[in-house]
Structure 1
Protein backbone atom coordinates (compact mmCIF):
# COMPACT_ATOMS: atom_id res chain seq x y z
CA UNK A 1 0.00 0.00 0.00
CA UNK A 2 1.43 3.39 -1.01
CA UNK A 3 1.51 6.48 1.20
CA UNK A 4 -1.08 8.20 -1.02
CA UNK A 5 -3.56 5.35 -0.67
CA UNK A 6 -3.03 5.21 3.07
CA UNK A 7 -3.51 9.00 3.37
CA UNK A 8 -6.75 8.76 1.36
CA UNK A 9 -8.16 6.07 3.60
CA UNK A 10 -7.25 7.95 6.74
CA UNK A 11 -8.82 11.15 5.41
CA UNK A 12 -12.08 9.30 4.92
CA UNK A 13 -11.96 8.30 8.56
CA UNK A 14 -11.19 11.92 9.56
CA UNK A 15 -7.95 10.90 11.22
CA UNK A 16 -5.71 13.39 9.45
CA UNK A 17 -7.04 16.23 11.57
CA UNK A 18 -5.66 14.75 14.77
CA UNK A 19 -2.26 16.14 15.76
CA UNK A 20 -0.88 12.68 16.64
CA UNK A 21 -0.68 11.63 12.97
CA UNK A 22 1.68 13.47 10.64
CA UNK A 23 2.85 12.96 7.11
CA UNK A 24 6.21 11.65 8.26
CA UNK A 25 4.51 8.99 10.36
CA UNK A 26 2.32 7.96 7.44
CA UNK A 27 5.29 7.65 5.10
CA UNK A 28 7.27 5.63 7.66
CA UNK A 29 4.33 3.32 8.26
CA UNK A 30 3.85 2.74 4.57
CA UNK A 31 7.52 2.04 3.86
CA UNK A 32 8.20 -0.26 6.83
CA UNK A 33 5.07 -2.33 6.65
CA UNK A 34 5.84 -6.03 6.48
CA UNK A 35 4.33 -8.57 4.11
CA UNK A 36 2.48 -10.31 6.94
CA UNK A 37 1.13 -8.66 10.06
CA UNK A 38 0.37 -11.92 11.86
CA UNK A 39 2.07 -12.28 15.22
CA UNK A 40 4.54 -15.19 15.52
CA UNK A 41 2.78 -18.27 16.82
CA UNK A 42 4.04 -20.35 19.71
CA UNK A 43 5.36 -23.81 18.96
CA UNK A 44 2.62 -26.40 19.46
CA UNK A 45 5.17 -29.07 20.30
CA UNK A 46 7.32 -26.86 22.50
CA UNK A 47 4.44 -25.34 24.47
CA UNK A 48 2.89 -28.74 25.25
CA UNK A 49 3.48 -29.76 28.88
CA UNK A 50 6.00 -32.51 29.54
CA UNK A 51 4.80 -35.36 31.76
CA UNK A 52 7.48 -36.54 34.21
CA UNK A 53 6.70 -39.85 35.98
CA UNK A 54 7.40 -40.21 39.67
CA UNK A 55 10.27 -42.63 38.92
CA UNK A 56 12.11 -40.06 36.77
CA UNK A 57 14.31 -37.30 38.13
CA UNK A 58 15.06 -34.22 36.01
CA UNK A 59 18.17 -32.25 37.00
CA UNK A 60 19.27 -28.98 35.38
CA UNK A 61 22.86 -27.79 35.64
CA UNK A 62 23.55 -24.14 34.85
CA UNK A 63 27.24 -23.25 34.34
CA UNK A 64 28.56 -19.98 35.76
CA UNK A 65 28.30 -16.95 33.45
CA UNK A 66 31.41 -16.02 31.45
CA UNK A 67 33.77 -13.39 32.79
CA UNK A 68 33.61 -11.37 29.58
CA UNK A 69 30.23 -10.00 28.61
CA UNK A 70 31.04 -10.19 24.89
CA UNK A 71 31.04 -13.98 24.91
CA UNK A 72 27.89 -15.98 24.34
CA UNK A 73 26.26 -17.66 27.29
CA UNK A 74 27.23 -21.34 27.68
CA UNK A 75 24.66 -24.07 27.21
CA UNK A 76 23.05 -25.75 30.17
CA UNK A 77 22.77 -29.51 30.62
CA UNK A 78 19.73 -31.54 31.61
CA UNK A 79 20.14 -34.99 33.15
CA UNK A 80 17.19 -37.38 32.93
CA UNK A 81 17.55 -40.24 35.41
CA UNK A 82 15.18 -43.20 35.62
CA UNK A 83 14.98 -46.93 36.38
CA UNK A 84 16.94 -47.93 33.25
CA UNK A 85 19.72 -45.34 33.49
CA UNK A 86 20.39 -41.69 32.82
CA UNK A 87 20.83 -39.50 29.75
CA UNK A 88 22.36 -36.02 29.60
CA UNK A 89 21.66 -33.50 26.83
CA UNK A 90 22.68 -29.84 26.40
CA UNK A 91 20.03 -27.15 26.03
CA UNK A 92 20.46 -23.54 24.83
CA UNK A 93 20.66 -20.73 27.35
CA UNK A 94 17.43 -19.09 26.10
CA UNK A 95 15.29 -22.11 27.06
CA UNK A 96 13.68 -22.30 30.50
CA UNK A 97 12.25 -25.43 32.11
CA UNK A 98 9.67 -24.86 34.84
CA UNK A 99 8.89 -28.01 36.82
CA UNK A 100 5.71 -27.94 38.87
CA UNK A 101 5.53 -29.55 42.29
CA UNK A 102 4.11 -33.09 41.88
CA UNK A 103 0.77 -33.64 43.60
CA UNK A 104 0.51 -36.37 46.21
CA UNK A 105 -1.84 -39.30 46.09
CA UNK A 106 -4.60 -38.96 48.67
CA UNK A 107 -4.61 -42.68 49.49
CA UNK A 108 -0.91 -43.52 49.68
CA UNK A 109 0.55 -40.05 50.19
CA UNK A 110 3.22 -40.67 47.55
CA UNK A 111 4.07 -38.18 44.84
CA UNK A 112 2.54 -38.79 41.42
CA UNK A 113 3.74 -37.67 38.00
CA UNK A 114 4.54 -33.99 37.61
CA UNK A 115 4.48 -31.59 34.67
CA UNK A 116 7.19 -29.44 33.17
CA UNK A 117 6.63 -26.47 30.88
CA UNK A 118 9.34 -25.29 28.49
CA UNK A 119 9.48 -21.60 27.54
CA UNK A 120 11.82 -19.37 25.57
CA UNK A 121 12.94 -15.82 26.22
CA UNK A 122 11.67 -14.22 23.00
CA UNK A 123 9.05 -15.78 20.74
CA UNK A 124 9.81 -13.31 17.94
CA UNK A 125 13.29 -14.75 17.32
CA UNK A 126 13.16 -17.58 14.80
CA UNK A 127 16.14 -19.68 16.06
CA UNK A 128 14.61 -19.75 19.54
CA UNK A 129 11.27 -20.95 18.17
CA UNK A 130 13.06 -23.63 16.14
CA UNK A 131 14.85 -25.06 19.16
CA UNK A 132 11.74 -24.85 21.33
CA UNK A 133 10.00 -27.90 19.92
CA UNK A 134 13.27 -29.75 19.25
CA UNK A 135 14.41 -29.68 22.87
CA UNK A 136 10.95 -30.63 24.10
CA UNK A 137 10.90 -33.66 21.76
CA UNK A 138 14.39 -34.72 22.88
CA UNK A 139 13.40 -34.54 26.54
CA UNK A 140 10.24 -36.56 25.87
CA UNK A 141 12.31 -39.24 24.11
CA UNK A 142 14.78 -39.38 26.99
CA UNK A 143 12.02 -39.69 29.59
CA UNK A 144 10.52 -42.57 27.61
CA UNK A 145 13.97 -44.12 27.20
CA UNK A 146 14.87 -44.21 30.90
CA UNK A 147 11.47 -45.66 31.82
CA UNK A 148 10.58 -48.07 29.00
CA UNK A 149 13.54 -47.96 26.62
CA UNK A 150 13.79 -47.66 22.83
CA UNK A 151 14.06 -50.53 20.37
CA UNK A 152 14.78 -51.01 16.68
CA UNK A 153 13.97 -54.25 14.87
CA UNK A 154 16.12 -54.93 11.81
CA UNK A 155 14.97 -57.42 9.15
CA UNK A 156 17.33 -59.05 6.66
CA UNK A 157 15.63 -59.91 3.38
CA UNK A 158 17.73 -61.80 0.84
CA UNK A 159 19.28 -65.18 0.16
CA UNK A 160 21.96 -65.84 2.77
CA UNK A 161 21.43 -62.54 4.60
CA UNK A 162 21.76 -63.10 8.34
CA UNK A 163 23.22 -61.63 11.51
CA UNK A 164 24.83 -62.98 14.65
CA UNK A 165 25.89 -61.36 17.92
CA UNK A 166 29.33 -62.49 19.10
CA UNK A 167 31.66 -61.66 21.94
CA UNK A 168 34.39 -59.24 20.97
CA UNK A 169 38.04 -60.18 21.08
CA UNK A 170 41.30 -58.41 20.48
CA UNK A 171 42.80 -55.26 21.86
CA UNK A 172 39.98 -52.81 21.15
CA UNK A 173 36.83 -54.98 21.19
CA UNK A 174 37.57 -57.12 24.22
CA UNK A 175 34.58 -57.23 26.55
CA UNK A 176 32.22 -55.79 23.92
CA UNK A 177 29.61 -57.34 21.69
CA UNK A 178 30.14 -57.60 17.94
CA UNK A 179 27.42 -57.83 15.29
CA UNK A 180 28.50 -60.24 12.56
CA UNK A 181 26.69 -59.57 9.27
CA UNK A 182 26.70 -61.86 6.25
CA UNK A 183 25.23 -59.93 3.34
CA UNK A 184 26.60 -61.59 0.22
CA UNK A 185 30.04 -60.02 0.30
CA UNK A 186 33.27 -62.01 0.13
CA UNK A 187 33.87 -61.32 3.82
CA UNK A 188 31.66 -60.91 6.90
CA UNK A 189 31.02 -57.42 8.25
CA UNK A 190 31.95 -56.91 11.89
CA UNK A 191 30.38 -53.94 13.68
CA UNK A 192 31.00 -53.23 17.39
CA UNK A 193 27.87 -52.51 19.41
CA UNK A 194 27.93 -48.93 20.81
CA UNK A 195 27.88 -48.28 24.53
CA UNK A 196 24.37 -48.20 25.94
CA UNK A 197 22.93 -50.47 23.22
CA UNK A 198 22.01 -54.14 23.66
CA UNK A 199 21.92 -56.33 20.54
CA UNK A 200 20.28 -59.74 20.24
CA UNK A 201 19.40 -62.02 17.33
CA UNK A 202 16.30 -64.12 18.14
CA UNK A 203 16.43 -65.60 14.62
CA UNK A 204 19.21 -65.31 12.01
CA UNK A 205 17.17 -62.88 9.87
CA UNK A 206 16.20 -60.57 12.74
CA UNK A 207 18.31 -58.27 14.87
CA UNK A 208 16.92 -56.42 17.89
CA UNK A 209 18.61 -53.29 19.21
CA UNK A 210 17.61 -51.86 22.59
CA UNK A 211 18.80 -48.86 24.57
CA UNK A 212 17.76 -45.78 26.53
CA UNK A 213 19.09 -43.25 23.99
CA UNK A 214 16.90 -43.18 20.89
CA UNK A 215 19.50 -41.31 18.85
CA UNK A 216 22.23 -43.91 19.51
CA UNK A 217 19.90 -46.85 18.79
CA UNK A 218 18.63 -45.42 15.50
CA UNK A 219 22.11 -44.31 14.43
CA UNK A 220 23.47 -47.84 14.85
CA UNK A 221 20.45 -49.24 12.99
CA UNK A 222 21.12 -46.79 10.14
CA UNK A 223 24.77 -47.85 10.06
CA UNK A 224 23.74 -51.49 9.65
CA UNK A 225 21.17 -50.61 6.99
CA UNK A 226 23.81 -48.75 4.99
CA UNK A 227 25.48 -52.05 4.00
CA UNK A 228 22.44 -53.26 2.06
CA UNK A 229 19.98 -50.49 1.26
CA UNK A 230 16.64 -51.97 0.10
CA UNK A 231 16.48 -52.11 -3.69
CA UNK A 232 13.16 -51.66 -5.54
CA UNK A 233 13.37 -54.49 -8.10
CA UNK A 234 13.74 -57.67 -6.03
CA UNK A 235 12.90 -56.18 -2.64
CA UNK A 236 16.14 -57.36 -1.05
CA UNK A 237 18.00 -55.42 1.60
CA UNK A 238 17.99 -54.45 5.26
CA UNK A 239 14.75 -53.02 6.61
CA UNK A 240 14.43 -51.13 9.91
CA UNK A 241 11.20 -51.43 11.94
CA UNK A 242 8.12 -51.07 9.69
CA UNK A 243 10.05 -49.88 6.64
CA UNK A 244 8.64 -51.01 3.30
CA UNK A 245 9.56 -50.38 -0.31
CA UNK A 246 7.44 -50.20 -3.43
CA UNK A 247 8.62 -52.65 -6.08
CA UNK A 248 9.25 -51.46 -9.61
CA UNK A 249 8.56 -53.37 -12.80
CA UNK A 250 11.56 -54.65 -14.70
CA UNK A 251 12.51 -52.83 -17.85
CA UNK A 252 11.66 -54.92 -20.89
CA UNK A 253 13.45 -54.04 -24.10
Structure 2
Protein backbone atom coordinates (compact mmCIF):
# COMPACT_ATOMS: atom_id res chain seq x y z
CA UNK A 1 0.00 0.00 0.00
CA UNK A 2 2.91 2.34 0.75
CA UNK A 3 5.05 1.32 -2.24
CA UNK A 4 4.09 4.29 -4.53
CA UNK A 5 4.81 6.79 -1.74
CA UNK A 6 8.16 5.19 -1.04
CA UNK A 7 8.99 5.24 -4.76
CA UNK A 8 8.22 8.97 -5.04
CA UNK A 9 10.24 9.69 -1.92
CA UNK A 10 13.17 7.67 -3.22
CA UNK A 11 13.07 9.53 -6.56
CA UNK A 12 13.04 12.90 -4.82
CA UNK A 13 15.94 11.87 -2.62
CA UNK A 14 17.92 10.68 -5.66
CA UNK A 15 17.34 13.97 -7.52
CA UNK A 16 18.45 16.00 -4.51
CA UNK A 17 21.24 13.70 -3.42
CA UNK A 18 23.72 16.56 -3.54
CA UNK A 19 21.86 18.48 -0.83
CA UNK A 20 20.00 15.73 1.08
CA UNK A 21 21.11 12.44 2.57
CA UNK A 22 19.29 9.78 4.60
CA UNK A 23 20.65 7.37 7.20
CA UNK A 24 21.95 4.06 5.97
CA UNK A 25 19.51 2.00 8.04
CA UNK A 26 16.56 3.65 6.23
CA UNK A 27 17.75 2.79 2.72
CA UNK A 28 16.05 -0.69 2.61
CA UNK A 29 12.68 0.95 3.33
CA UNK A 30 12.98 3.20 0.24
CA UNK A 31 14.54 0.64 -2.11
CA UNK A 32 12.17 -1.00 -4.68
CA UNK A 33 10.67 -4.14 -3.18
CA UNK A 34 11.65 -7.40 -4.90
CA UNK A 35 8.83 -9.78 -5.83
CA UNK A 36 8.35 -12.40 -3.14
CA UNK A 37 7.45 -15.95 -4.21
CA UNK A 38 4.32 -17.56 -2.81
CA UNK A 39 6.32 -20.51 -1.49
CA UNK A 40 10.00 -21.15 -0.97
CA UNK A 41 9.86 -24.92 -1.46
CA UNK A 42 10.64 -26.49 -4.81
CA UNK A 43 7.87 -28.44 -6.60
CA UNK A 44 7.89 -32.14 -5.68
CA UNK A 45 7.00 -35.10 -7.85
CA UNK A 46 4.02 -37.29 -7.09
CA UNK A 47 4.96 -39.52 -4.16
CA UNK A 48 2.58 -42.27 -5.28
CA UNK A 49 3.03 -41.92 -9.04
CA UNK A 50 6.82 -41.87 -8.96
CA UNK A 51 7.09 -44.95 -6.72
CA UNK A 52 8.08 -48.08 -8.69
CA UNK A 53 5.55 -50.88 -9.05
CA UNK A 54 6.17 -54.02 -7.02
CA UNK A 55 5.83 -57.05 -9.31
CA UNK A 56 6.15 -60.33 -7.34
CA UNK A 57 7.50 -63.55 -8.87
CA UNK A 58 4.98 -65.42 -10.97
CA UNK A 59 3.31 -62.24 -12.27
CA UNK A 60 3.97 -60.98 -15.80
CA UNK A 61 3.68 -57.27 -16.57
CA UNK A 62 3.37 -56.61 -20.30
CA UNK A 63 2.57 -53.47 -22.32
CA UNK A 64 0.49 -54.19 -25.41
CA UNK A 65 0.75 -51.99 -28.55
CA UNK A 66 -1.58 -48.94 -28.71
CA UNK A 67 -5.11 -49.49 -29.89
CA UNK A 68 -6.30 -48.17 -33.24
CA UNK A 69 -7.53 -44.61 -32.59
CA UNK A 70 -9.90 -44.66 -35.59
CA UNK A 71 -11.55 -47.88 -34.38
CA UNK A 72 -11.96 -46.74 -30.76
CA UNK A 73 -13.11 -43.24 -31.71
CA UNK A 74 -10.41 -41.50 -29.66
CA UNK A 75 -8.21 -38.68 -30.85
CA UNK A 76 -5.13 -40.18 -29.16
CA UNK A 77 -3.97 -43.77 -29.01
CA UNK A 78 -4.04 -45.55 -25.65
CA UNK A 79 -1.75 -48.40 -24.73
CA UNK A 80 -2.94 -51.39 -22.69
CA UNK A 81 -1.18 -53.09 -19.79
CA UNK A 82 -1.71 -56.83 -19.45
CA UNK A 83 -1.09 -58.38 -16.03
CA UNK A 84 -1.14 -62.16 -15.58
CA UNK A 85 -0.82 -64.09 -12.37
CA UNK A 86 -1.85 -67.27 -10.56
CA UNK A 87 -5.36 -65.92 -9.88
CA UNK A 88 -6.20 -64.65 -13.35
CA UNK A 89 -5.51 -61.98 -15.94
CA UNK A 90 -6.41 -58.28 -15.92
CA UNK A 91 -6.02 -55.52 -18.49
CA UNK A 92 -6.03 -51.75 -18.08
CA UNK A 93 -5.95 -48.90 -20.59
CA UNK A 94 -3.24 -46.31 -19.94
CA UNK A 95 -3.73 -42.61 -20.84
CA UNK A 96 -1.50 -41.52 -23.74
CA UNK A 97 0.41 -39.00 -21.59
CA UNK A 98 1.50 -41.67 -19.07
CA UNK A 99 4.77 -43.47 -19.89
CA UNK A 100 5.96 -46.70 -18.26
CA UNK A 101 9.68 -47.32 -17.93
CA UNK A 102 10.55 -51.02 -17.64
CA UNK A 103 14.32 -50.64 -17.27
CA UNK A 104 15.88 -53.75 -15.76
CA UNK A 105 18.12 -51.64 -13.52
CA UNK A 106 15.08 -50.20 -11.71
CA UNK A 107 13.40 -52.09 -8.84
CA UNK A 108 10.17 -52.21 -10.87
CA UNK A 109 8.21 -50.47 -13.64
CA UNK A 110 8.12 -46.70 -13.08
CA UNK A 111 5.48 -44.25 -14.33
CA UNK A 112 6.09 -40.74 -15.65
CA UNK A 113 3.86 -38.14 -17.30
CA UNK A 114 4.55 -35.91 -20.29
CA UNK A 115 3.84 -32.63 -18.45
CA UNK A 116 4.12 -32.69 -14.66
CA UNK A 117 2.76 -29.11 -14.44
CA UNK A 118 -0.63 -30.10 -15.86
CA UNK A 119 -3.17 -30.68 -13.05
CA UNK A 120 -5.01 -33.47 -14.88
CA UNK A 121 -1.83 -35.37 -15.68
CA UNK A 122 -0.60 -35.05 -12.09
CA UNK A 123 -3.93 -36.37 -10.81
CA UNK A 124 -3.96 -39.35 -13.19
CA UNK A 125 -0.28 -40.06 -12.47
CA UNK A 126 -0.90 -41.42 -8.97
CA UNK A 127 -4.32 -42.82 -9.86
CA UNK A 128 -2.95 -44.92 -12.73
CA UNK A 129 -0.12 -46.22 -10.57
CA UNK A 130 -2.54 -47.15 -7.75
CA UNK A 131 -4.84 -49.03 -10.16
CA UNK A 132 -1.91 -50.97 -11.64
CA UNK A 133 -0.61 -51.93 -8.20
CA UNK A 134 -4.10 -53.10 -7.19
CA UNK A 135 -4.28 -55.26 -10.33
CA UNK A 136 -0.86 -56.76 -9.58
CA UNK A 137 -1.95 -57.58 -6.03
CA UNK A 138 -5.24 -58.95 -7.31
CA UNK A 139 -3.77 -61.51 -9.70
CA UNK A 140 -1.13 -62.61 -7.16
CA UNK A 141 -2.93 -62.61 -3.78
CA UNK A 142 -6.46 -61.36 -4.46
CA UNK A 143 -8.66 -58.79 -2.75
CA UNK A 144 -11.25 -59.50 -0.08
CA UNK A 145 -14.00 -57.78 1.85
CA UNK A 146 -15.57 -59.03 5.09
CA UNK A 147 -19.13 -57.93 5.80
CA UNK A 148 -20.52 -58.14 9.34
CA UNK A 149 -24.28 -58.33 9.80
CA UNK A 150 -25.22 -56.79 13.15
CA UNK A 151 -28.86 -57.08 14.19
CA UNK A 152 -31.40 -59.48 15.62
CA UNK A 153 -32.14 -62.19 13.06
CA UNK A 154 -29.69 -60.84 10.48
CA UNK A 155 -28.35 -63.69 8.34
CA UNK A 156 -26.56 -64.20 5.03
CA UNK A 157 -26.21 -67.27 2.83
CA UNK A 158 -24.92 -68.14 -0.63
CA UNK A 159 -27.44 -69.88 -2.90
CA UNK A 160 -27.17 -71.47 -6.34
CA UNK A 161 -30.59 -70.22 -7.49
CA UNK A 162 -32.80 -67.20 -6.98
CA UNK A 163 -36.46 -66.33 -7.56
CA UNK A 164 -36.35 -62.52 -7.73
CA UNK A 165 -33.33 -61.94 -10.01
CA UNK A 166 -32.39 -63.43 -13.35
CA UNK A 167 -29.15 -65.21 -14.21
CA UNK A 168 -26.48 -63.01 -15.82
CA UNK A 169 -23.97 -65.74 -16.72
CA UNK A 170 -23.94 -69.55 -16.51
CA UNK A 171 -23.29 -70.92 -13.04
CA UNK A 172 -23.94 -67.64 -11.25
CA UNK A 173 -24.48 -67.77 -7.50
CA UNK A 174 -26.54 -65.43 -5.36
CA UNK A 175 -26.26 -63.82 -1.94
CA UNK A 176 -29.40 -64.22 0.15
CA UNK A 177 -29.80 -61.60 2.89
CA UNK A 178 -32.22 -61.58 5.79
CA UNK A 179 -31.82 -58.11 7.27
CA UNK A 180 -35.16 -57.21 8.78
CA UNK A 181 -37.37 -57.00 5.69
CA UNK A 182 -40.53 -59.02 5.17
CA UNK A 183 -38.84 -60.76 2.24
CA UNK A 184 -35.29 -62.04 1.65
CA UNK A 185 -32.95 -59.89 -0.45
CA UNK A 186 -31.29 -61.73 -3.34
CA UNK A 187 -28.26 -60.28 -5.14
CA UNK A 188 -26.37 -61.87 -8.03
CA UNK A 189 -22.65 -62.29 -7.43
CA UNK A 190 -20.61 -60.53 -10.16
CA UNK A 191 -18.37 -62.53 -12.45
CA UNK A 192 -14.91 -63.00 -10.99
CA UNK A 193 -16.09 -62.67 -7.38
CA UNK A 194 -16.60 -65.57 -4.98
CA UNK A 195 -18.71 -65.36 -1.81
CA UNK A 196 -18.75 -67.58 1.27
CA UNK A 197 -20.27 -67.47 4.75
CA UNK A 198 -17.85 -68.63 7.47
CA UNK A 199 -20.58 -67.69 9.96
CA UNK A 200 -24.26 -66.85 9.46
CA UNK A 201 -23.51 -63.21 10.30
CA UNK A 202 -20.30 -63.00 8.26
CA UNK A 203 -20.00 -62.71 4.48
CA UNK A 204 -16.62 -63.03 2.77
CA UNK A 205 -16.15 -61.64 -0.76
CA UNK A 206 -13.02 -62.47 -2.74
CA UNK A 207 -11.86 -61.51 -6.22
CA UNK A 208 -8.92 -60.38 -8.31
CA UNK A 209 -10.31 -56.93 -9.19
CA UNK A 210 -10.56 -54.70 -6.13
CA UNK A 211 -13.03 -52.25 -7.67
CA UNK A 212 -15.57 -55.00 -8.46
CA UNK A 213 -15.25 -56.55 -4.98
CA UNK A 214 -15.73 -53.27 -3.13
CA UNK A 215 -18.58 -52.13 -5.38
CA UNK A 216 -20.48 -55.34 -4.68
CA UNK A 217 -19.79 -54.92 -0.96
CA UNK A 218 -21.21 -51.39 -1.13
CA UNK A 219 -24.27 -52.71 -2.99
CA UNK A 220 -24.92 -55.21 -0.19
CA UNK A 221 -24.35 -52.58 2.50
CA UNK A 222 -26.88 -50.22 0.87
CA UNK A 223 -29.71 -52.57 1.91
CA UNK A 224 -29.06 -51.93 5.59
CA UNK A 225 -26.68 -49.08 6.33
CA UNK A 226 -25.41 -48.84 9.92
CA UNK A 227 -27.62 -46.63 12.07
CA UNK A 228 -26.16 -44.65 15.01
CA UNK A 229 -28.74 -45.36 17.75
CA UNK A 230 -28.73 -49.16 18.10
CA UNK A 231 -25.64 -49.88 16.01
CA UNK A 232 -27.50 -52.22 13.67
CA UNK A 233 -26.58 -52.65 10.02
CA UNK A 234 -24.03 -54.13 7.62
CA UNK A 235 -20.41 -53.18 8.30
CA UNK A 236 -17.64 -53.59 5.69
CA UNK A 237 -14.16 -54.67 6.89
CA UNK A 238 -13.14 -52.72 10.01
CA UNK A 239 -15.86 -50.09 9.72
CA UNK A 240 -17.18 -48.68 13.00
CA UNK A 241 -19.86 -46.16 13.94
CA UNK A 242 -20.20 -43.80 16.88
CA UNK A 243 -23.43 -44.38 18.80
CA UNK A 244 -25.71 -41.47 19.68
CA UNK A 245 -27.99 -41.01 22.65
CA UNK A 246 -31.69 -41.67 22.16
CA UNK A 247 -33.84 -38.66 21.45
CA UNK A 248 -35.94 -37.85 24.54
CA UNK A 249 -38.96 -35.66 23.96
Q: What TM bracket, shorter-length normalisation?
A: 0.7 to 0.9
- Shift, 1:37, TM fit: 7.3
User: Does the 8 Å CA contact 2:80/2:94 hold for their aligned counterparts?
Assistant: yes
Q: Partner of 2:233 in structure 1?
A: 237
d(CA) in 1 for partners of 2:110, 2:58? 18
The correspondence of residues 142-157 of structure 1 with structure 2, limited to 5 A, is 142-157=135-150
Does residue 187 of the first structure (1) align with residue 183 of the second (2)?
yes
Moved more, 94-103 or 159-168: 94-103
- Shift, 1:34, TM fit: 7.7
The alignment of Structure 1 onto Structure 2 pairs a total of residues equal to 219
Q: Partner of 1:165 in structure 2?
A: 158
d(CA) in 1 for partners of 2:215, 2:154? 21
Q: Partner of 1:217 in structure 2?
A: 213
User: Does the 8 Å CA contact 1:153/1:240 hold for their aligned counterparts?
Assistant: yes
What residue ranges of structure 1 are gaps of 5+ in the alignment?
A: 12-28, 104-113
- Shift, 1:61, TM fit: 1.9
- Shift, 1:145, TM fit: 0.9
Which of structure 1's runs of 4+ aligned residues deviate more than 4 A? 1-5, 33-39, 64-67
Secondary structure of 1:122's aligned partner: coil
C-alpha spacing 1:82/1:180, structure 2 compared with 1 (3 Å):
same
Secondary structure of 1:248's aligned partner: coil
What residue ranges of structure 2 are gaps of 5+ in the alignment?
A: 12-33
User: Does the 8 Å CA contact 2:197/2:204 hold for their aligned counterparts?
Assistant: yes
Moved more, 197-206 or 72-81: 72-81
Q: Partner of 1:80 in structure 2?
A: 83
d(CA) in 2 for partners of 1:49, 1:243? 30
1:54 corresponds to which of 33, 53, 57: 57
TM-score, length-normalised on structure 1? 0.77
- Shift, 1:76, TM fit: 2.0
User: Does the 8 Å CA contact 1:98/1:118 hold for their aligned counterparts?
Assistant: yes
Q: Partner of 1:127 in structure 2?
A: 120
d(CA) in 1 for partners of 2:67, 2:58? 29
Structure label with greater radius of gyration: 2
Q: Deviations over 1:157-202 (max 9, x none)?
A: 0011110100036862552100001111111111000000000011
Secondary structure of 1:141's aligned partner: helix
d(CA) in 1 for partners of 2:152, 2:215? 25
d(CA) in 2 for partners of 1:94, 1:3? 45
2:245 corresponds to which of 244, 249, 252: 249
